[in-house]
Amino acid sequence: MSSSNNTIFITQAGGCLNGKLRVPGDKSISHRSIMFGSLAEGVTDVNGFLEGEDCLSTMKAFRAMGVEIEHSGEGRVRIHGVGLHGLKQPDGDLDLGNSGTSMRLMAGLCAGQSFPVTLTGDASLSTRPMRRVTDPLKEMGAVIGTTEKGTPPLKISGDTKLNAITYTLPMASAQVKSCLLLAGMYAEGKTCITEPAPTRDHTERMLQGFGYQVDRNGPTACLEGGGKLTAANIDVPADISSATFFMVGASIAEGSDILLENVGINPTRDGVISILKLMGADITLSNEKEICGEPVADIRVKSANLQGIDIPEDLVPLAIDEFPAIFIAAACAEGVTRLTGAEELRVKESDRIQVMADGLIALGIKVEPTPDGIVIQPGTFSGGEVHSHGDHRIAMSFAMAALRATGDITINDCDNVATSFPNFIELANHSGLKISN
């Protein structure tokens, strides 16, 4: 059931998950493969590219700046790189849809170009905070305009001299770190970014894979401006964020046993595995290997009796995108689960703390949202109606809640599931969830 602006998921109560699954390619790596392949010298071939709307927005933006990109579908992309200084001024604004990753990383790249450009997005993206990237970029010499609230559109003047910066992030954010490192490639001198807690390091790994030297010393990453990228082939692993929904679903639904194949287990992204294991989840890794510098493994998950925990704050940055699904697991656990140190969740595609709290309450779960987290009491999901507020991770998390619900769950505003997981319904039904739209 859907309308022109509101896709609705209807998930039937009960069931379990079984079988072998391959979830879509990692979104973070897919974004960067387009960006770095476009800025490299030579031809880059990408396999396993995520065919989601966010990544397609990145592809469209670089095509608009003169990059030839062949896209045959089924995760195969060929990029004819133009070099760091080969991009051309687009005919109009670059519309990045719902993709905060695209906007924040491209702010850094576009600040180093010789032409002006305006970055825009959809209604959700247009409310997201951008001063965390525009303020340090201005310190580097960039000229960038935002709304009075510091939100998009971003108007970047271009043709300004950038100077290297030594900067300590006020909060852990891979997007801000990446933005400044990418601007640093165009700056004079050495740019060094220090983060207060570990965040995903795909940018550093992939830059080095494209031949651009990045020096890492503990929490600090540095690079010199004026280098170059050389084309490299990319094999994108399955996205651990997408795998998380099925890890949680299998953990909470009695009789479940699934194998998630070839999932990226980058140590800056695997917090969800650690958290679920602390809760008592039955998770085992096998066939561990490295592909293009990224660690991958097959992940087997069986149903288990979960326990509520106080989530360690040092794991929060390593699982920041996975908390909507973790909240579903917490509601099914024995005992209280407490999350602190996660204020970043309030400025994602939605206020994920409040939106998840509202949905959990609507389904009969007792929760207490706090400024930087949430307290979740164990309970039983009733049937009912929830609103995802256009947030794809909220929608897919509540879909998994139906496995332990006493009645069907209707989820509103699911359009943006296609941004990260275009075949979610098909794969979920194949594995045992009963969902329609």
In sequence order, the β-bridge partners of residue 79 are 44, 69
C-alpha 417/C-alpha 187 separation (Å) is: 37
CB 402 within 8 A of CB 13: yes
Are 416 and 2 in contact by the 8 Å Cβ rule? The answer is no
CB 23 within 8 A of CB 50: no
Let me know whether 254 and 270 are in one domain.
yes
pLDDT tens for the chain, residues 1 to 437: 333 458 999 999 999 999 999 999 999 999 999 999 999 999 999 999 999 999 999 999 999 999 999 998 889 999 999 999 999 999 999 999 999 999 999 999 999 999 999 999 999 899 999 999 999 999 999 999 999 999 999 999 998 999 999 999 998 899 999 999 999 999 999 999 999 988 889 999 999 999 999 999 999 999 999 999 999 999 999 999 999 999 999 999 999 999 999 999 999 999 999 999 999 999 999 999 988 778 999 999 999 999 999 999 999 999 999 999 999 999 999 999 999 999 999 988 889 999 999 999 999 999 999 999 999 999 999 999 999 999 999 999 999 999 999 999 999 999 989 888 989 999 999 999 999 98
Q: ∠ at Cα 125 (80, 94), nearest 5°? A: 35
Those residues with Cβ within 8 angstroms of residue 334's Cβ, 6 or more apart along the chain or in another chain: 305, 306, 307, 308, 378
Q: Which domain-ending residue is among 177, 203, 235?
A: 235
Q: Domain for residue 208, yes or no?
A: yes
Residues 401, 390 share a domain: yes
Non-local (6+) Cβ contacts of 241 within 8 A are: 26, 27, 269, 321, 322, 393, 420
Do residue 126 and residue 243 come from a single domain? no
Look at residue 211 and tell me if it is in a domain: yes
Domain boundary among 235, 264, 294: 235
CA 162 to chain centre: 28
- Assess whether 161 and 246 both reside in one domain: no
Residue 4 domain-assigned (yes or no): no
| 14 found inside a domain | yes
Shared domain for 137 and 51, answered yes or no, is yes
89 in helix, strand or coil?
A: coil
- Dist CA 177 CA 281 (whole Å): 32
Q: Is 305 contained in some domain?
A: yes
In a domain, 156, yes or no: yes
CATH of the domain at 376: 3.65.10.10
Distance CA 373, CA 179 (A): 26
Residues 271 and 157 in one domain: no
The answer on 73 and 49 residing in a single domain is yes
Domain that holds residue 189: 27-235
Q: The tokens of 57 are what?
A: 């927005």
The residue out of 179, 213, 235 marking a domain boundary is 235
Round to whole Å and give the CA distance between 404 and 425.
18
Task: Give me the helix-helix angle, 27-39 and 174-184, nearest 10°.
Answer: 10
- From residue 206, how far is each of 202, 332, 411 by CA, in Å? 6, 38, 37
Instruction: Give the total number of structural domains in the chain.
Output: 2
Query: CA 368 to CA 374: how far, in whole Å?
Result: 6
Out of 54, 235, 270, 321, the active site residue is: 321
Map tokens 């387009």 to a residue: 34
Structure tokens at 326: 């973790």
> Can you give the C-alpha Rg of the chain in angstroms?
21
Question: Model-level pTM?
Answer: 0.86
If asked whether residues 18 and 45 sit together in one domain, one would say no
What is the distance between the alpha carbons of residues 347 and 116, in angstroms, rounded to a whole number? 27
173 shares a domain with 249: no
Instruction: Provide the residue count of the chain.
Output: 437
- Residue 315's region, left for phi above 0, alpha for psi from -120 to 50, else beta, is alpha
Query: Does 53 share its domain with 145?
Result: yes
Whether 330 and 423 map to the same domain: the answer is: yes
SS3 44: strand
239 in active site = no
- Cβ partners under 8 Å of residue 24, min gap 6: 50, 51, 52, 238, 239, 242, 420, 421, 422, 423
386: in domain:
yes
Residues 116 and 132: their CA atoms lie apart, in Å, by 21
Does the bond joining 219 to the residue before it have cis omega, within 30 degrees of 0?
Answer: no
Regarding whether 215 and 185 lie in a shared domain, the answer is: yes
**Beta-strand runs (E) in 146-200:** 154-156, 166-168, 190-194
1 found inside a domain: no
Name residues whose C-beta falls within 8 Å of residue 98's C-beta, 6 or more positions apart in sequence: 53, 54, 57, 121, 122, 124, 125, 349, 390, 416, 419
